[in-house]
Structure 1
Amino acid sequence: MSDVIVFDLYGVIARTQTDEARREIETRAGLAEAGVPAPAFWEAYWDRRPAYDAGQSSADYWAAVAGRLGIAIPDVPALVEADLNSWTDVDDAMVALVGELADRGRTLGLLSNIITDLIPRFEARHGSWLRRFAALTYSCRIGVAKPDPRAYLICAERLGAAPADIVFFDDNAANVAAARAVGMRAEVFTSPEGVRAAVGA
């Protein structure tokens, strides 16, 4: 049984974007007016995301997306707002599990690919349970994002634990493979029940 448990945020504790939120982003980006199909927009959105996760400014990120698509975004602040709002919902069952594990004395860490502007909004809304984590390792603040091995090693160092003493959960198989490569025990997240089984809770 490992006493040090590290979670990814999005797709594990926090929810990913809903269809409604994605449509709002598409509207704010002016896709219909520019004649840009939604799949092309989302390809550019994700292709340019690694630099954003590693600390790039919102203005530079959206300029890069617009440049790839060859469009002018009509209202960048409104688009930024829609994007930030799309990443603030959580899975209540996982939040409850975080509290349960912390109450049992398990050391918890968070390792998230997340953009700078989102952190204060997310922490303001969810600070009560984020305080249960011994270390919050955000990609935008360390300058590297998963699956870069440095992200995992920085997280382990902040927790004062060897990688071999950590069990890590992520919904992305590539991130899980990278965690295993640095020596962590890592599992693809499927459900709170799967976490309980893996950590002996």
Structure 2
Amino acid sequence: MSAVPAVKAVLLDLGNVLVFHDNSLLFARLAARAGLEPREAARRLTGAGWTAANRGLLDAEGIRQDVCGALGVELPMEEFAPLWSSHFQVHDAVLPRVEGLAGRVKLVLVSNTNALHVAWLKPLLPVLQRFDALVMSCEVGHVKPEPAIYQLALQKAGCAPQEAVFFDDLPEFVDAARALGLRGFVFTDAPAFDAQLKSLGL
């Protein structure tokens, strides 16, 4: 029986791994500004525009126009940008463990996100400077669970699927990675993440 290849690359999700994001809070805050019920704001915003932003088809101004148009309210960018990113909280407990991986394995971020969230979060997460590559859906035009985004991440890491491990809070995205031959774990919290890494010899 052949030995399991050593892990050469760790691929990490962003949302609910390095930062928490509460979309219900985002919808509630946008709804309050637009004079809508949160459920109605969520209905209007969950759909084609969200996907287009994640694919990079909408730049920062395009996102502002799309969201404001859907909500029926006009907000200047200086008000909209912080409101659009007001639902994030850095996951401080996990950052030291991620920092400790730098230099030991290739670190690659693999995230479904949009231009405004990237601009907001990068200054809040200096740890991203320790990553070997940032594969942001809005910059590469592919989104999880499409195979292309995982394949691009592997290319950036310079390793085979069997040499990489992927962590994400969404099981369907982990399943997609496993289907390509990566090892995959559903991220739940910092202690479980630590245990999963230790099981891999990291």
**Alignment TM class, shorter chain as reference:** 0.7 to 0.9
The CA distance in 2 between the partners of 1:96 and 1:134, in whole Å, is 17
Kept after mapping to 2: 8 A contact 1:66/1:72: yes
* Matched residue, 2:81: 80
CA shift for structure 1 position 4: 1.3
* Matched residue, 1:17: 22
Q: Which amino acid aligns with 2:139?
A: R
Note the alpha carbon deviations across 1:70-92, whole angstroms, 9 max, x for none. Answer: x52132522333012333x2111
CA shift for structure 1 position 3: 3.1
Kept after mapping to 1: 8 A contact 2:90/2:124: no
Q: Which amino acid aligns with 1:86?
A: H
Note the alpha carbon deviations across 1:149-176, whole angstroms, 9 max, x for none. Answer: 1111111101111122111010111211
The CA distance in 1 between the partners of 2:66 and 2:75, in whole Å, is 15
TM-score, L = length of structure 2: 0.83
Note the alpha carbon deviations across 1:28-74, whole angstroms, 9 max, x for none. Answer: 3x1x2xxx43112113323231211111124434544555x5x5213
The CA distance in 1 between the partners of 2:172 and 2:50, in whole Å, is 16
- Runs of 4+ aligned structure 1 residues displaced above 6 Å come to none
SS in structure 2 of the partner of residue 85 of structure 1: coil
Q: How does 1:30-69 map to 2 (within 5 A)?
A: 30=34, 32=35, 36-47=36-47, 48-55=49-56, 56-65=58-67
SS in structure 1 of the partner of residue 174 of structure 2: helix
Kept after mapping to 1: 8 A contact 2:135/2:153: yes
Q: Which amino acid aligns with 2:22?
A: Q
CA shift for structure 1 position 96: 1.1
SS in structure 2 of the partner of residue 146 of structure 1: coil
* Matched residue, 1:181: 179
* Matched residue, 1:159: 157
SS in structure 2 of the partner of residue 101 of structure 1: coil
The CA distance in 1 between the partners of 2:38 and 2:27, in whole Å, is 10
The CA distance in 1 between the partners of 2:44 and 2:61, in whole Å, is 15
* Matched residue, 1:4: 9
What is the aligned residue count?
191
Compared CA separation, residues 21 and 64, structure 1 to 2 (3 A) = closer
* Matched residue, 2:114: 115
Deviates more, 1:148-157 or 1:58-67: 58-67
TM-score, L = length of structure 1: 0.83
Kept after mapping to 2: 8 A contact 1:22/1:86: no
Structure 1 unmatched runs, 5+: none
Q: Which amino acid aligns with 1:175?
A: F
CA shift for structure 1 position 21: 5.0
Compared CA separation, residues 19 and 49, structure 1 to 2 (3 A) = closer
Query: Percent identical across equivalent pairs?
Result: 26
Structure 2 unmatched runs, 5+: 1-5
Deviates more, 1:114-123 or 1:145-154: 114-123
RMSD of aligned Cα (Å): 2.2
* Matched residue, 2:101: 101
Compared CA separation, residues 43 and 62, structure 1 to 2 (3 A) = farther
Deviates more, 1:7-16 or 1:174-183: 174-183
SS in structure 1 of the partner of residue 20 of structure 2: coil
